Structure 1
């Protein structure tokens, strides 16, 4: 796939995926179109060589895989790629409604390590999952996405905060509740009723009572190219839906004769410890079902490899001193191998060498990132997955700026080039 076509499809995916629930919904549709069959975890499976399958857990995590024809799992192993579906954001509280100066606001929690200042003065919408009792008494769930701007967090005027440009700490409890409406007379400020009316407008007409929800605010601005020569693109949730899309496209297009797998977990931004997170049992349980015999499974894992794909910090032109001078990845100069002596990343010389060899075959350059020795290092699902199932792993990612902002920036060449390398990785005979 050519760069422009790849990026346009990426933009469509990002715009349609304001929450992990919507991201998995979109991935499910694209995988089904490519011939993948959905399996239910609670059912007995009939998995055959040559088949393409996927499972979904919590509607926010997904694993898709291809069973090779004439390939023995124990000796061939599985080529695995991992990413995560969640991004830092503002999550609505269970009882969020407050009224201040005649205005309706919703209380929010900060999900993950979000940069808070960029959330001010943005056109915000609301999306997520709603659980309800249907008219016939059954329990149902439905995705909701208002799509249009329905809220804003207005900044305080500089006239009322003269020191704002000299450093500002944001209080998420008192300063971050989004403003949703101005109330008049007997107007009610009831989120559940607002949700019910929105779902009714979208032809969900069997709602008796809304019981619960998981809702997130997001910026309605669409992804877009940036730069005089469209060198960059900007979007919300590049960390890490960009990696989910790259992995999905590589899996669909690889046409591999090998056993291949993509796992996209929820909850990475808050530690991965959940039933659907990388520190949970989802991937391990799948591998146990594919290879029930422990001897076969252990040999399979020993012959497998995981590529953990999560965006990397590009060197910032205005803050170059925040990087080690020999390890400052640049946008549009290739994906980044992420390395850390304290195992915050799972890369080692063996996995890095293999991945470099694959990239050279595609004539794609790679870069290296090591955090400054006087700064703390983040982490990914890579070390967690390696520890949970014992598979050799490498951490890589597209370099980006403004990580964890409401709008992030990446190079327009890097995503499609990494997809090419992952497609070749999926076709590797030996790892």
Structure 2
């Protein structure tokens, strides 16, 4: 039976607000948690004993969040329906000794995180965001959302070869942003400035995880505003859609034969191998504890996992009008035409035929069109948390997402309808 759509263009408006308010993974999970709290979810501390209470719960760990909703009639062996995503995006991150400079310029030493399109960070007004860890062990979110830093490009007059040979950037020498003038560089200047901006006493910060972000807000684009341009769509677009879908099914009246879950991990862009990454134990631990808290046994856990399906939702490549030859000639996903199903027979994506059927059924129920993405055989294929989730937990996993342009740029581009089409498909999937 086809369900009426839950989301429309208003979802895309809300996505742009979410992107602007989430300049780091830590902000993204805090904003997701706030939306879940408003829907009645409550945080579960990992250090506490869990009970079998029904309703919505979530776990926060660094830049990752796992949230789930237990219906009243759920059994210990009830399978899960999981929307998986990741919270991190390629960018420039502040080094442990950030204060540097020379020749009258004050600079911030940064390290390249993930695989960003480096040129997209040049000559762009940048803010600073992330978290500080204080002497008492607490953390404080930081978002200096104003024009603070800039990575200046070399003038064409000083590099005439750039027009003929293209831009060549040295990651160590050419990506260090400037943030002021002066000949004297003092250790601790940047962190003292951040403490002052946040109202923290000088010297209270003992650790930091800071990164730069473009301060240009997301916006509609195009003659009919049929496109959206903005930062961190890879992959906060999926985190936002997954959060909205989980809230919709948890607060809806549709009976739930499964336990709906949102799992948004950090560190996908550099391999997922961390305590908050998809290759860590976080998801498995939360799911197992949920089973055991409801009085389940190891047998119940095995039964629940055997019936579980995960949709690994991550952005993918729309066909590029200027580089169409880089795409598979029979698979040209287009912006505005619905979410994509990602397929790779070498298991860079986890989708198989039976997984395709699950996603097709969800899209049909939601009345959402979908497309298929396959890489050009001459091009290496990217990967996602999908194969990691399938292999680590023995869970059937399907790779999907929204087709975008300029992936890994400081500012990406998608069709304005695709975010809410994805969210509607996720609702149908979580409802079963």
Query: TM-score by structure 1 length?
Result: 0.94
Residue 198 in structure 1 maps to residue 197 in structure 2: yes
Q: Distance in 2 between matches of 1:107 and 1:43?
A: 39
1:21 aligns with 2:23: no
- Structure 2 equivalent of residue 65 of structure 1: 68
Which residue is equivalent to 2:91? 89
Aligned to 1:241, which of 236, 240, 243?
Answer: 236
Q: Which residue of 2 aligns with 1:420?
A: 424
Q: Does 1:399 align with 2:403?
A: yes
Contact kept? 2:92, 2:111, Cα under 8 Å:
yes
Give 5+ residue unaligned stretches, structure 2: 1-5
SS state at 1:147 partner? strand
**Alignment partner, residue 176 of structure 1:** 175
Q: Return 304-313 or 190-199, whichever deviates more.
A: 190-199
Match of 1:226 in 2: 221
Q: Deviations over 1:234-287 (max 9, x none)?
A: 111000000000000011012352311000000000000001100000011112
What's the CA shift for 1:288? 1.6
Q: What is the rounded CA distance, in whole Å, between the counterparts of 2:418 and 2:76 in structure 1? A: 32
Change (3 A) 1:337 1:183: same
State which of 212, 215, 233 in structure 1 corresponds to 2:210: 215
Could you say if the C-alpha distance between residues 185 and 207 of structure 1 is closer, same or farther in structure 2, counting changes exceeding 3 Å?
closer
Measured after TM superposition, the shift of residue 185 of structure 1 is 7.7
Q: Please, what is the CA RMSD of the aligned residues? A: 1.5
For 2:388 and 2:70, locate their aligned partners in 1 and report how far apart those are by CA, in whole Å: 25
Structure 1 pair 185–335 and aligned structure 2 pair: CA distance change class (3 A): closer
Q: Which runs of 5+ in 1 are unaligned?
A: none
* Cα offsets for 1:200-238 (capped at 9, x unmatched): 1xxx4x554321211100100000001001111011100
Could you list the per-position Cα deviations for residues 327-355 of structure 1 after superposition, in whole angstroms to 9, with x for gaps in the alignment? 11000011100000110000000010121
TM-score normalized with structure 2 length:
0.94
**Residue pair 1:104, 1:189 contacting (<8 A) in 2 also:** no
**How far apart, CA to CA, are the structure 2 residues paired with 1:274 and 1:410?**
30
Pairing of 1:46-57 with structure 2 (within 5 A): 46-49=51-54, 51-57=55-61
Q: Conserved in 1, the CA contact under 8 Å of 2:9 and 2:417?
A: no
The answer to whether structure 1 residue 128 and structure 2 residue 127 are counterparts is: no
SS state at 1:272 partner: coil
Spell out structure 1 runs of 4+ moving beyond 3 A: 184-189
Cα 1:327–1:140 shift into 2, 3 Å? same
Q: Is the 8 A contact 1:107 1:173 kept in 2?
A: no
Number of aligned residue pairs = 417
From 341, 347, 363, give the equivalent of 2:345: 341
Contact preservation (8 Å) 2:219, 2:229: yes
What CA distance in whole angstroms lies between the structure 1 residues aligned with 2:285 and 2:45? 13
- 1:190 is displaced (CA, Å) by 1.2
1:313 lines up with 2:311 in the alignment: no
Q: What corresponds to 1:119 in structure 2?
A: 121
